[in-house]
Amino acid sequence: LIFKRHIEQVNNLSEIQALRRLSPHPNILMLHEVVFDKKAGSLSLICELMDMNIYELIKGRKKPLPEKKIKNYMYQLCKSLDHIHRNGIFHRDVKPENILIKNTLKLGDFGSCRSIYSKQPYTEYISTRWYRAPECLLTDGYYSYKIDMWGAGCVFYEITSFQPLFPGSNELDQISKIHDVIGTPAKKTLNKFKQSTIMNFDFPFKKGKGIPPLVHNLSPKGFSLLYAMIKYDPDERIAAHQALQHPYFQEFWQVTSNHFKNTPGQVPLHLWQISKESQKQVIF
């Protein structure tokens, strides 16, 4: 009976639930087996073998990646995020170390994931600091799946420049680094955040300097998408399904439209709607 209870507890872990729900998908790491050692009380997840993660790919690299490769990686990352969001899950820790590559790119490490439909507030100190969205830093856990897009935007910059976009040394410095680049937000945005926190903050006006000029291999359309991913206000930030329709990814549209039998720039509505029954299955 005790062992059976252990098995039930293992099966109820959000990471295992998420990986089982999201697989198979070409851009989600495949879970092959769960090994539970009753004696040691340890749990191991056996996943497919990948070559490296994005951090390992760019670490110490001197020569920039071709934009074609960057675009391919970002398209696959947006596909993975679109898939998990459609299935009612958000990752909450999108960063280079959790994005794996072999022949294709796959999103892994769902240990921090949550259901989009679970009740707020969520854990405040989620996500690695450099990839943490403003709403995570400035509210008491009132954020949404849009934090994944902020993290993806930070990754986008990093695989292009080999430097982190917002390398804050602490929470306050993190906000300061964000303001250095995109400026202080409009008052209405800050007021919206203030409604979801007991913190009292008031930032002096700062005009952002823009994305640091370390990016030489990104087209204007690429910059346009990057800025859309790091919008301060999550309501204005681009969603994954919208990012896939951005002109930066135009060369991939034909494949997508053939797959969905749909014209580029449109997403079939039924693919974005999730039934109430499905919502109940992903509340963790």
Among the listed residues 47, 44, 55, 16, the one whose alpha carbon sits nearest the alpha carbon of residue 29: 47
Output the DSSP codes for the chain: -HHHHHHHHHHT-HHHHHHHHH-S-TTBPPEEEEEEETTTTEEEEEE---SEEHHHHHTT--SPPPHHHHHHHHHHHHHHHHHHHHTTEE-S--SGGGEEESSSEEE---TT-EETTSPSP--SS-S-GGG--HHHHHSSS---THHHHHHHHHHHHHHHHSS-S---SSHHHHHHHHHHHH-PPPHHHHHHHHTT-S----PPP-----S-TT--S--HHHHHHHHHHT-SSTTTSPPHHHHTTSGGGGGGHHHHHHHHT--TT---GGGT---HHHHHHT--
The answer to whether residue 93 is catalytic is: yes
Angle between helices 146-161 and 220-229 (to 10 degrees): 140
Among the listed residues 107, 112, 109, 115, the one whose alpha carbon sits nearest the alpha carbon of residue 86: 115
Write down the catalytic residue from 37, 51, 82, 93: 93
Contact yes or no for 135/147 (Cβ under 8 A) = yes
Active site residue ranges: 93
